[in-house]
Amino acid sequence: MELKCAYQTYHWGRPGSSSAVAQLVAAGQPEFTLSEETPYAELWMGTHGSGPSVLASSGQPLADYIRENPQVLGERVLAKFGVQLPYLFKVLSVNTALSIQAHPSKSHAEELHAARPTVYKDPNHKPEMALALTPFEALCGFRPLEEIQHFLKAVPELSAAVGAEPAAALLAVSAAEPAARDRLRDCLQALMTREPAEISRQLDSLVARLSAPGDSAAASDPLLPAELVLRLSQQYPGDVGCFCALLLNRLILQPGQALFLGPNEPHAYLAGDCIEIMACSDNVVRAGLTPKFKDVATLVSMLTYECRTAAQQLFLPTSGGGDERVQVFQPPVPDFSLAKIQFVPEMENTEYTVPVRDSASLLLVVSGSATSGATVVGRGSVLFVPANEKVTLRLAGRQEVLMFQAFCQL
């Protein structure tokens, strides 16, 4: 069943035809009119109330169709999650940085929702996975402790923003010591609760120094992400989140590489286009790079403070059950899985059978053209596939096929 899906025009989205979201919507929805001035940020595929998908043939909301036909979800999904699609599938096009944030665990989400339902609007966790469509830049997880200690010594504005006492305490521990996580937490808390005027003053000083012609600090320190600090400070002047570029790993994912963001891990998307899949939740705890509500106390208390290298943040796929055209990204949560299907047909009019899943799945076509019965499928098409249903595509030519299949593997 073909779907018509919602899109979001948040301020951080990529403008006009530079946005993968706009490109996919324009290709898949003939009535869509693209504006080059509009920031197209997200394409939503699923049943979430803030951007529900509808059946293209009738306009019926997918959520209503599922309620009327619960068997389409599959027996295991029904038993575990009830009559609802347990995941939300998206495409993101990021032009300016999203907030420094983390997502609570299931039990913590229930506590936050009970205490502050107007801020944390549901009791669910929000693990998520991002897979790059284009080179995709993000901050994710704390840097190795040695790198953070290096910046505390090499960047006087950071140590001043943190404060002498917590900075000295972190410099005095090694990564192997149990106290290291507590000292890192103390530093983050001190940084995030410093007077905004002092943060702005130190950030202005750092920006001026990094912007100076022939600045020796930026030129001589290969670890220092000078360009990123300057870019973030332009997007969010005086924001404490700009200093997080020195605390968190900076990654540039190449197309096909992925990140899994579990509970209590700090992260921020910075630039590029990606596929994203997550549990159905809106729970976000923010602390920087945002004009929105910042819940610093909650964020500082919930993080794991696990330090890892940038390479260790990458999430690797498994094989697709013997099919070399398929890579499956199976995170350590039951809510969702993601399959990347990519190949060049050997000849025209080749038939390809989409992997059959025992859960309902959503299929997004990024490139390639085909027919499925009477339905013409091409770039921007989104199909809802009931559990255990076989979908065979007759490919129209020898153009590379790239599709993503969201499903629930229990």
Active site members: 286
Annotated binding residue at 31?
no
Question: What is d(CA 271, CA 134) in angstroms, rounded to the nearest whole number?
Answer: 10
In this structure, what token pair is assigned to residue 274? 């990606």
Q: Are 100 and 244 in contact (CB under 8 A)?
A: yes
Annotated binding residue at 267?
yes
Which of 111, 95, 121 has the alpha carbon at shortest distance from 38? 95
Matching residue, tokens 């609802």:
84
Single-letter amino acid, residue 342: Q
Determine the length of the chain.
410
Question: What is d(CA 24, CA 387) in angstroms, rounded to the nearest whole number?
Answer: 25
The 3-state DSSP class for residue 178 equals coil
Annotated binding residue at 103?
yes
Question: What is d(CA 317, CA 20) in angstroms, rounded to the nearest whole number?
Answer: 23
Residue 275, beta-bridge partner list: 91, 131
In this structure, what token pair is assigned to residue 363? 């299929």
The 3-state DSSP class for residue 287 equals strand
Q: Are 295 and 287 in contact (CB under 8 A)?
A: yes
Q: Counting Cβ atoms within 10 Å, is residue 269 exposed (0-12), middle (13-18) or buried (19+)?
A: buried
Identify the H or E element spanning 167. helix 164-171
Annotated binding residue at 150?
no
Question: What is d(CA 408, CA 410) in angstroms, rounded to the nearest whole number?
Answer: 6
Residue numbering of the annotated binding site: 101, 103, 128, 267
Residue numbering of the annotated binding site for Zn(2+): 101, 103, 128, 267
